[in-house]
Structure 1
Amino acid sequence: MAESTGVDRGIQSLIAARKSLKLSLEKSKAIGLALGKTGPRFEEIEQRLPLLEAAVRPIRADGEALKDVGGNINRAVGPAAAVLKVFDAVHGLEKSLLSDPKNDLSSYLSVLKRLEEALKFLGENCGLAIQWLEDIVEYLDDHHVADEKYLSNLKKSLRGLSEFHNDGGGVEEKERSQLRLDGGLRNAALDKLENEFRRLLKDNSVPLPMASPSSLGDQACIAPSQLPVTVIHKLQAILGRLRANNRLDKCISIYVEVRSSNVRASLQALDLDYLDISVSEFNDVQSIEGDSV
């Protein structure tokens, strides 16, 4: 009987120990889950610490430096903001300049002139804006009023902009720089003007009329032909813009080509087929005439 009682007590002790272990395991699991949820929060806090440190750094900076930094930043950002505004305006002209100039030549030329003025402004002020931004970044670095990593990224970006803008002083380098500013928009617009110049000449050129033989003797000749005044004004306006962009030579070639074609068509009325005789045939004729003499 005593042995039975001892066994029962042992079993009860084991059961109690089992329950205790089970509770301990459950608590351990709960603690593990809690730690698992807390881990990402610790990582988030760790990631935010550098930002907090950077935010606090200006408080530790020199008072005079903090007092002047706002005005210096505004003076540096002003030219850069103006450049960006003009750059956006350039892209705003794209739709108008990619249209056909024959629809409204006067407006097209006006928009092109605005583009030229904008590109001139960008060419003269991009370098200045970059220099001002570099100066303010150097000021922030010298007075320790900004995060070092942030300043490093700014310096890298400004260095890339400076190299992008200053790639040499030759003609080809300047042309490449202009292409980067407008994406080739000005060249595309000038090409359209050259095509319009050609179209105006072709559409208003007809074979030249023959003058009356009675008024000019027995020999027929080609009477002079003039372009309409409105067409001449349009051609002159186009030439003005092309001359301003050093594209006059192409217009001269177009004019010679179109007018020469018109003259060739006019000469067909003069019955000048004998001019098509080959050199060998011409020599044969000369030899025959010489023999007959």
Structure 2
Amino acid sequence: MMEGFHGMDSLNSAREILKSSIEKSRNVAIAIQETGSRLKETSDEVAFLQAAIKKMARECAVYEIRDPIDRTLGPAAAVLKVLDVVRELQDSLLTTDPRTNLHPYLANVKRFQEAEKLLEDNCRLVVLWLDDVMQLLKTIQAADDDWYLDNVSKVMKTFMALQGRGACACQNGGVLGYALDKLESAYVHLLTDYSSPFPAQEYYEDYSSVCYFPVNFIQDLRSITEVLAAKNRLHRCISIFAGVRSANVQATLQSLSTDYVSIQLSEFDSVQIVEGHIDVWDKHMEFCVRHLLQMEYKLCNEVFRKAGSEVWTNCFAMITSQCGFNDIFNFGSSVTKCKKDAIKLLMLLKIFGTLDKLRLSFNQLFGGKSCVEIRNHTRDLVKRVVEGTYEIFRELLTQVELQKETSPPPDGSVPRTVRFVTEYCNQLLDYDNSLLLRRILEIHQEWNNTRLEEGLLFSEISNIMGALELNLESWAKKYDDSALSCLFMMNSCWYLCNNNSETKLGEVMGHSWFWAKEKSMEYYVALYLKESWEKLLVVLGEEDLVLFDGGRAIDRDLVKKRIGMFCDAFDGMYKKQSKWVFLDEGLRLNTCHLVAKAIVPSYKSYLQKNLPEFDMGNSVRYTAESLENLINSLFQMKLGKFEGVNCTDMLGVMKNDVIDHFSSTPAAA
């Protein structure tokens, strides 16, 4: 048996019912004792009346009332026997507790009801026959007719009083009413004994830990319900049942840390405020619908089935509305009210996915007349999600195009917008997301009686990437330094190729797209070297170095001057390009290798050819080795800038900075 639920604040109402029942029983006790004594007196009076009737029968042999009197004696005797049974059952109902021995108590309640009914029926027969006697006596008009009439009238009043005691027994203060109150109290105890919140730490791991109820518990509830319903107390059963069970579900949900549902959102808020709660909301919804509410649905059906489907579905609707499920459900609706941005589309897909996988459960649980309100809320939420998703999706291309007016990174690195868009497109093309997005697009087209464009998702993604490439070309032209512009395009082309080679986005763009990007890389690498490092070699010219025509003597001062000029130019180039970065370490090392390959061998050869070895140490600022070491230290990623972050995780890092660029209002550069 589950642990009791008495200590929980949510069951205060149940405890109040118990306290009320106890107080009521005290007040009724005195009335019950008086009823017992009156019942004994009534029984004695009936016995006396039966004897009087027999005496009257003997004395009235001369009259025509003999036959009616004889017919009256049988029912009158039956009344006496039934009164004995009623008195015995009354004592049992008043002195025993249904919680300790429920089924015998229920049986006695039913027997008491049957005995009261039998008493009423027999009294009705007696009254009918005595009425015949009264009519005959009135026609005889004997001298002592008044004496007979008085006695018959007295007997009739007694039986008429007994005939009406059945209704009194059911009223407050009556024996049966008191017994039914005790059954209600037992009903509360039974429900609370089998109601306990489920451990929060277990529901994520194993839904089977949500146990169902033992057969005897359901049978006991059903038995009490049937008895109370027979006496017009079904509404009390439903109220008690719904109160206890909804409090139990509410306590379970509160143990799952659902505080996020209280977050207030408006059209000016970003979905990032609650983004971290969407996945948790999905799990809470699934657990609540498929397990908690499903269990309550089955229990309502089994306990109130005989009362009709409208009764038990109404009880389930009461539990649903009182348990806090509406607060969790409405959290999804609040997300749809947030400001339009790209991340919101992904959140809407998650919400739609949650509703879609729970669709069959929703149809089963909330299909009754009593659940019209939640069905309407569900339809409204689906409509908001579909329309919001479609609207944001069709605006993505425009939002990417608007970024053309922004400025590129000053260090030539890959713009965050580029990384965001590519990662975002990959998320849209994820298998689950793409299925949900296609489904939403189909629904939207059906609602608007239009035909869905074939391959709309893929074509829109291709258009977005095309717009992104145009943005790159526009941004590259904004650099004053042509070498930096080339480095920027090297960075961007490498990122587009390397980061998407084995992704869904790569599949959509195709091999020709990758081939074009690789060719662009080669072009910009060659142009970068030409526009920057290769220009340094012009200083290391051989002209005018020979002192005499036809001689071999070298002008050492001119050599040293030119080497100094080269080193000065190198220092200036190094200082400027040390502020530039490559996002990828492999690309950085490869670029450094190409730079070193372009100038170090020529520099080394120039030194070896034009300066003796003994003059190197004092006249040369950089050796070939130190020059190469400096080159290899270039383009380092600055500490703290995406340090230790994989490209696949870049979306989460970047969106705080670029999210406003993809809202319904264009962001400033």
Q: In the TM superposition, what is the alpha-carbon distance from 1:101 to its structure 2 partner?
A: 0.5
Alignment-derived partner of residue 191 in structure 1: 181
Superposed displacement of residue 226, structure 1: 1.8
Shift of 1:146: 8.0
Supply the AA of the counterpart residue of 1:115. Answer: F
1:201 positional shift: 0.8
Aligned-partner SS, 2:151: helix
- Pairwise CA distance, 1:237: 2.1
Q: Distance in 1 between matches of 2:169 and 2:92?
A: 19
TM-superposed CA distance for 1:194, in Å, is 1.7
Counterpart position of 2:145? 148
> Counting helix residues as a fraction of each chain, which structure ranks higher?
1
Structure 1 stretch displaced more, 108-117 or 118-127 = 118-127
Partner of 2:204: 213
After superposition, give the CA deviation of every residue in 1:238-260 in whole Å (9 maximum; x if it has no partner): 22322333332321221111111
Q: Does 1:201 find its partner at 2:182?
A: no
Specify the code of the residue in structure 2 equivalent to 1:276.
S
- Give the conservation status (yes or no) of the 8 Å contact 1:222–1:266: no
Amino acid at match of 1:287: F
Residue correspondence of structure 1 range 102-181 to structure 2 within 5 A: 102-143=99-140, 147-154=144-151, 156-157=153-154, 160=157, 178-179=167-168
Q: 1:117 to 1:266 in 2, by over 3 A?
A: same
Instruction: Classify 1:132/1:188 alpha carbon distance in 2 versus 1 (closer, same or farther; 3 Å).
Output: same
1:244 to 216, 226, 230: 230
CA deviation vs aligned residue, 1:160-199 (integer Å, no higher than 9, x gap) = 4687689xxxxxxx9x861168972222212211221111
Q: Does 1:255 align with 2:241?
A: yes
1:83/1:129 contact within 8 Å kept: no
> How much has 1:130 moved relative to structure 2?
0.7
1:97–1:112 CA contact under 8 A, matched in 2: yes
Q: How far, CA to CA, are the matches of 1:195 and 1:126 in structure 2?
A: 33
1:255/1:179 CA distance change after superposition, 3 Å: same
| Equivalent of residue 226 in structure 1, options 190, 207, 212 | 212
Change (3 A) 1:268 1:141: same
1:265 is aligned to: 251
- Secondary structure of residue in 1 paired with 2:197: coil
TM-score with structure 2 setting the length: 0.28
Amino acid across the alignment from 1:113: K
Larger RCO of the pair (alpha carbons < 8 Å, separation 6+): 1
* TM-score between both structures, scaled by the size of structure 1: 0.60
Is residue 86–residue 122 contact of structure 1 (8 Å, CA) maintained in 2?
Answer: yes
**What's the CA shift for 1:115?**
0.9
Q: Which runs of 5+ in 1 are unaligned?
A: 1-54, 167-173, 216-220
Q: 1:92: which partner in 2?
A: 88
Return the alpha-carbon distance in structure 2 between the equivalents of residues 238 and 146 of structure 1: 59
Q: After superposition, what is the alpha-carbon deviation per residue over 1:108-155, rounded to whole angstroms, capped at 9, x for unaligned?
A: 011111111112213333222111122224434544678333224235
- Runs of 4+ in structure 1 deviating by more than 6 angstroms, as ranges, are none
Q: Is the 8 A contact 1:202 1:258 kept in 2?
A: yes
Distance across 1 between alignment mates of 2:218 and 2:149: 59
The answer (yes or no) to whether the contact 1:101–1:193 under 8 Å persists in 2 is yes
1:74 is aligned to 70
State the Cα deviation string for residues 56-108 of structure 1 (Å, max 9, x = none): xx98x8xxx52865554232222123124313422321121123111211110
Structure 2 CA distance for partners of 1:238 and 1:205, relative to 1, 3 Å: same
Structure 1 residues 276 and 84, CA, compared in 2 at 3 Å: closer, same or farther?
farther
Give 3-state SS (helix, strand or coil) of 1:127's partner.
Answer: helix
How far apart are the structure 2 equivalents of 1:136 and 1:70? 9
Conserved? CA contact 1:137–1:154, under 8 Å: no
- Paired residue secondary structure (1:93): helix
Residues 76 and 133 in structure 1, CA contact (< 8 A), matched pair in contact too: yes
Contact 1:239 1:248 in 2 (8 A): yes
Secondary structure at the counterpart of residue 187 of structure 1: helix
Gap change, CA 1:124 and 1:145, over 3 Å in 2: same
Contact between 2:98 and 2:183, CA under 8 Å: does it hold in 1? Answer: yes
**Which amino acid in 2 is paired with 1:259?**
R
Deviates more, 1:190-199 or 1:257-266: 190-199
State whether residues 205 and 227 of structure 1, in contact with CA within 8 Å, keep that contact through their aligned partners in structure 2.
Answer: no
Q: Is the 8 A contact 2:137 2:145 kept in 1?
A: no
1:163 to 1:74, Cα distance in 2 relative to 1, 3 A: closer
Q: Structure 1 163/125 Cα, relative in aligned 2: closer, same or farther at 3 Å?
A: closer
Contact 2:187 2:224 (8 Å CA) reproduced: yes
Q: Is the 8 A contact 1:119 1:181 kept in 2?
A: no
| CA distance, structure 2, for counterparts of residue 260 and residue 181 of structure 1 | 30
Alpha-carbon distance between aligned partners in 2 of 1:162 and 1:222, rounded to the nearest angstrom: 61
How far apart, in 1, do the equivalents of 2:93 and 2:147 lie? 40
CA pair 203-181 structure 1, distance change in 2 beyond 3 A: closer
Say whether 1:83 aligns with 2:79.
yes
8 Å Cα contact 1:140-1:146 kept in structure 2: no
Cα separation, 1, equivalents of 2:246 and 2:257: 18
Go from structure 1 to structure 2 and tell me whether the alpha carbon gap of 1:146 and 1:122 turns closer, same or farther (over 3 Å shift): farther
Measured in 1, the distance between the counterparts of 2:179 and 2:205 equals 50
- Pairwise CA RMSD of aligned residues? 3.6
Q: Give distance in 2, aligned partners of 1:260 and 1:83.
A: 47
Distance 1:156 1:122 in 2: 20
Q: Corresponding residue for 2:501?
A: none
Does the residue aligned with 1:101 lie in a helix, a strand or coil?
A: coil
State the one-letter code of the partner of 1:93.
L
For the residues of structure 2 that align with 1:223 and 1:286, how far apart are their CA atoms?
A: 40
Q: Indicate if the aligned counterparts of 1:207 and 1:263 stay in contact, CA closer than 8 A.
A: yes
* Distance apart, 1:207 and its partner CA: 0.7
